[in-house]
Homo-oligomer: A and B are copies of this chain.
Amino acid sequence: MKVGYLGPKNSFTHQAAKSCFPENQLTSYQTIAACIHSVYQEEITYGVIPIENSLEGSVNDSIDRLFHLGDLVVLGEIVLPIKQQLLVANQTTRIEKILSHPQALAQSQQFLYEHYPTVPIEAVSSTTYAAEFIAQHPDLGLAAIASKKAATEYGLNILSADIQDNLFNQTRFWIISRKNQLLPLALGHLKKATLFITLANNQAGSLHKILECFAKRAIDLSKIESRPLKTSLGEYFFVLDLLYDDNEALILEAIEAVETIGGSVNYLGLYPLKTVLEEEL
């Protein structure tokens, strides 16, 4: 069995994947697109991809590709605490430049604004790359924003700890698959369901009627979001996350009701959640 993840090694997605699968089954992919396509082609059984961060919002590339490819299901969700560290090589005292991935930079923008307002920032392809690069160039006055794992891996010092703009920063990851199959592991007892809904006339106004199908059946939404259909401005599909409360029959009934009023529904599945604690990383 092969499990793909958005790499490189020691990325947060790698940590999420390791919390569920043994290391020797894991394959790193350079992009979300490559990982999703490999699952779609059934070259690998499962893929682990980031879906949403509590500071930065949805990972649009993941959501849009799952919608446009279709035929993929969600088997589980992993919620990981995300803590960013400001790392330097031993010798560094004065910081000339700070390197990191755009998401990590965005998650730490308040800290950077307060403590390093004039230091140039450089966006690089991953937090792991940033850590590796500054370890290899200890004399250039560089700092990296990356995880504790990266600090250990590359022998870097933590100059400021937990610099992300909110202490409860978390990211949701999905375990996706081409087929609706059982996961060879137990996640948690809590479950969620996710639907992609496209409206016949693409009017956000009709959304009220769609939500009524769920409200009538006392189905709670934990999230709703619109994403462009990539046709023209103002045309969207909707992503709905439903809280599961032993009510799959009601969920299926609500989906039928949505279809009756002209909505088309892609049901990504009913899946268990696993919340990883910081101590487990």
Contacts and interface: CB of A to CB of B under 8 A. Distances in A.
Interface of A: 52-57, 60, 79, 123, 165-166, 168, 170, 172, 203-205, 207-209, 211-212, 214-215, 220-228, 230-236, 241, 243
Contacts of A79: 233
B221 A224 contact: no
Given A166-B230, A168-B231, A203-B220, 7 more contacts: A54-B228, A55-B230, A123-B123, A172-B233, A208-B211, A208-B215, A211-B211
A222 B233 CA distance: 10
Contacts of A224: 204, 207, 224, 226
B221 A205 contact: yes
Most buried by B among A79, A166, A205: A205
Main secondary structure of the interface of A (DSSP, over half): mixed
A215 B211 CA distance: 12
Most buried by B among A123, A208, A221: A208
